[in-house]
Amino acid sequence: MTARVLVVDDSLPNRKLLEARLQDEYFEVAGAASGAEAITLAQRWSPDIILLDVLMPGMDGFEACRRLKAQLSTAHIPVVMVTSLNDQGERVRGLDAGADDFLVKPVDQATLFARLRALLRVKQVLDAWRLRAETVRDLGFEPPSAPPEDFEGAKVLLLSHDASEAATLSHALQADGMALEQFSDEKLVWQKLQDPAAHYDLVLNSLPMPGGDPLRLASRLRAEAETRDLPLMLIANAEQRELVLRAFELGASDHVLRPINEQELRARVRNQVRRRRYQLRLRAEFDRSLELAVTDGLTGLRNRRYVVRHLESLLRDGAACGVLMIDVDRFKPLNDYYGHAAGDAALREVAARLREHVRASDIVARYGGEEFLVVMSGPGIEETGVVAERLRSAIGNSPIDLGQAKLPVTVSIGSALSAVSADAAALIAAADAAMYRAKSLGRNRVEAATNQDWRLA
C-alpha cells in the first residue's frame, strides 16, 4: 500500500529520521516544520495521512489538528499525533482535537506501520465514497448539510467474558448517550451482526477471548459485505502487543490498553463512531443523489439519461432488445386549452399507466416533453408488439380524470428490435420514425419499424 505521508515536526533531525523510515517502506513523504506550514501543505499536497508533532513553538500540534479537522478540504485526512510523553491527559486532549491516533517517541517501527496501514485502509474506503459524492455534486445535486454531532443512540457491540469490565465500559459510553450490548459468544455475535435491523456503530473486542480467536473475528468482519466497514476496537493488555499488531493488519481499527482510562476510551469510541456515521452519510447522500440524477421529476420515471445508458449497456452485453417510442397525441392543444397543470397531471397519469402495464423487467422512461421510451430485453422480445398494443389500449381506452374534466388521451407508438441493428441511437431513431408513421396514419395506433424507418434512421 503506497501513500502520501506528511511529517510535521519542528526538529529537523526528528523529521529526517521519520521521513527516511517511511521512504524505506516506499511511502511518498513531505515534511513541514510548523503547524501553519502543515496546514498549507495539507491543502496543497493532499496527503493520505499526517504525522503531527505535539510540541512545537507557535501553533502546537493540538491546535494544528483542530484546524485541520475544522476545514472541509482536510477534515478527512487521518492525523496521528507524535508525543514525547506517554501521558494520558495529553492523549485525551489530542483525541478531543480530532486526532485519530498516537505514537510515542521514540517511534516503534512495527507499531508505526501497523497503525499507518489501519488508518490508510479506512481512508481508502472513505475516499471512494467521497469521490462518488463529488461526482453527483458535479451533476448539480447539493448534498444535505451535515447533521450536528450527536452520538445519542449509537450502538456498540461488546464481545467479552468479563462482566465487570463490561459494566464499566457501558457506564463510560452512557455518558455520550451510547448503548452497549455485551455478548460472550462469538457465534451469537455473528448472528447479531448479520441482522439487518441491528445497525451497530462499533464492535469492541475485549482480549483475551476464551474459546475464540480475535484475529479470526477481525478478518471475518472485513471479509463479509455486511460488516466490511464496521469499525473494530480491541481492548488489550500491554503484553498483548503482538496480537494487537496482527489484528491491525487484518483490519482492526483502534485499540485501548488496560488499565482503561475512561476519557481516552470515550474519545476513541467517539472518533470511530463519528467516522462510521460520516461514511454512512456519504453513502446515503450518494444513493439519494444517484436516485435524483436518474429520475424524471414530474413522473417519477427514469429519465432520458438513464434509459439511454441502460439500453447501451444491454446492447453492449449482447442482449436482444426492443424499444417503444410513445408519444401523447395532440398534447400541445390539450396543454393550451386546459393549462399546464392539467397537462402535467395527464403526463403523470400516462406514466402511471405505462408503468403498470409493462413487464417487470422492462424500463419505462420519460424521454422528452410528452415522449416516453420503453426498453424491453431478454426472453419475450418477440412480444414487443403485444406489449405496445397493451400500452396503447391502457391509455386510450379510458379517459384521464382531471377533476374538472374527463380527458380522452391517446398515444402513438413506434417499435423497433435490436435484431436489425444493435446501435442504441439507430434503434431509438427507428422507433421514432415508426412512431411518426403511426401519427400520420391517424394516431392512437402502433407501428413496427419498417425497412424505410430504419433507412430514415
Instruction: Tell me whether the omega of the peptide bond preceding residue 259 falls within 30 degrees of 0, making it cis.
Output: yes
Q: How far is the CB of 71 from Mg ion (least distance, A)?
A: 23
Q: Does 447 bind Mg ion (CB under 5 A)?
A: no
Contact predicate 166/157, CB 8 Å: no
Shortest Å distance, C-beta 140 to Mg ion: 46
Which H/E stretch holds residue 231? none
10 binds Mg ion (CB under 5 A): yes
Closer of 34 and 289 to Mg ion (Cβ): 34
Q: Which stretch binds Mg ion (CB under 5 A): 52-60, 138-146, 344-352, 362-370?
A: 52-60
Element (H, E) at 259: none
Window of 7-15, 102-110, 202-210, 236-244 that interacts with Mg ion by CB under 5 A: 7-15
Count of residues that bind Mg ion according to CB under 5 A: 4
Shortest spacing between CB 57 and Mg ion, in angstroms: 8
Nearer to Mg ion, 10 or 370 (CB): 10
Q: Is 81 helix (H, G, I), strand (E, B) or coil?
A: strand
In the bound state with Mg ion, the residue whose beta carbon lies nearer, of 18 and 387, is: 18
What is the spatial order of strands in the sheet that 28-32 belongs to?
28-32, 4-8, 49-53, 79-83, 101-104
> Given CA atoms 83, 84, 87, 90 in this order, what sign does their dihedral have?
negative
| Site membership for Mg ion, residue 60 (CB under 5 A) | no
Q: Per the structure block, which three cell numbers stand in for 342?
A: 392539467
> Is position 370 annotated as part of the catalytic site?
yes
Q: How deeply is 217 buried, as exposed, middle or buried, from its count of CB atoms within 10 A (0-12, 13-18, 19+)?
A: buried
Outline where DSSP puts E strands in 33-111.
49-53, 79-83, 101-104
Q: Does 55 bind Mg ion (CB under 5 A)?
A: yes
Q: Nearer Cβ to Mg ion, position 91 or 437?
A: 91
Among all residues, whose Cβ is closest to Mg ion?
55
Per CB under 5 A, does 104 bind Mg ion? no
Say how far residue 350 (Cα) sits from the centre of its chain: 34
- Judged by CB, which is closer to Mg ion: 66, or 357? 66
Q: Which stretch binds Mg ion (CB under 5 A): 45-53, 66-74, 193-201, 342-350?
A: 45-53
Rounded CA-CA distance 446/434 in Å is 8
Catalytic residue among 90, 285, 349, 370: 370
> Is residue 90 involved in binding Mg ion (CB under 5 A)?
no
Interacting positions 179-198 with Mg ion (CB under 5 A):
none
Residue from 76, 159, 62 nearest 122 by CA: 76
Q: How far is the CB of 17 from Mg ion (least distance, A)?
A: 13
Looking only at residues 133 through 162 of this chain, which bind Mg ion when binding is defined by CB under 5 A?
none
**CB nearer to Mg ion: pick between 55 and 59:** 55
- Cβ–Cβ < 8 Å for 284, 346: no
20: left (phi over 0), alpha (psi -120 to 50) or beta: alpha
By the rule CB under 5 A, 53 interacts with Mg ion: yes
Query: CB of residue 11 vs Mg ion: minimum separation in angstroms?
Result: 5
Residues annotated as catalytic are 370
List interacting residues with Mg ion (CB under 5 A).
10, 53, 55-56
